[in-house]
Amino acid sequence: MTPWTLLDTAHVPGQHGAGSALRLYQRGTEFSIKAGNCELMNSRVHGSEDALAELGCARIAGCAQPRVLIGGLGMGYTLAAALHHLGADAEVVVAELVPAVVLWNRGPLAHLAGQPLDDARVTVRELDVGEVMRANSEAFDAILLDVDNGPEGLTRKANDWLYGLDGLDAAYAALRPGGVLAVWSAGAEPVFTQRLCKIGFSVEETRVRAHGGKQGARHTIWLAVRSV
């Protein structure tokens, strides 16, 4: 079997110890991003990332000049899927905390999702998505969150805030009335559903295939709609 080759290592701002670095690997045409011993994403498995964008954008299909915030660039699959489902009048803001991830998406990973960062509708902010949400009141029709491993994060303790009541309250405030918060997670988390409801969202939980087909692992996507 072809061995993995380490292409680059990037420090996660504000993080120390295990999981404080992201490592980009390549094996043939396959790419992987890991933190510690955990694989965060793989270029062969992105069906649920595509579904995050498809489901979230479907909820705002009737919006004129929709504005979408994506938290976490990953390998660009969620961004590419969002652009596919949005019209020419849309604006997409990508918040990515790790600058190297943006560079990887402009370099060795660019071809995977069809170079979505080159789309004129896209603006990249090298910031924590929480900062972007707090700085923008009623600014987005949809927020797509694919940060860490979901509500039960693995790589960054600060992500606990994002998925806690304060972070969800910030997301609610950053959405326009009727806007949708779509959240990706590797697994189910009933307590998270309760938190979303407590903030005031109307919540729908969906299980989707990681590979996008009919077999394989399932991931969870929450669709949380702000009241009008």
Share of residues in the chain with pLDDT > 90 (%): 76
Query: The domain 45-225 belongs to what CATH superfamily?
Result: Vaccinia Virus protein VP39 (3.40.50.150)
If one compares 13 and 101, the residue with the highest pLDDT of the two is 101
Residue in 20, 14, 10 with CA at minimum distance from that of residue 155: 20
pTM for the model stands at: 0.92
Per-residue pLDDT for 180 more than 60? Answer: yes
The structural domains of the chain, with segments of one domain joined by +, span 45-225
CB 4 within 8 A of CB 34: no
Q: What is the pLDDT of residues 65-75, one digit of tens each?
A: 999 999 999 99
If one compares 216 and 220, the residue with the highest pLDDT of the two is 220
- Element at 54 (helix H, strand E): helix 47-58
Q: What is the pLDDT of residues 181-192, one digit of tens each?
A: 999 988 888 899
Cβ-based neighbours of 61, under 8 Å, separated by 6 or more: none
Quickly list DSSP for 89-107. T-EEEEE-S-HHHHHHHHT
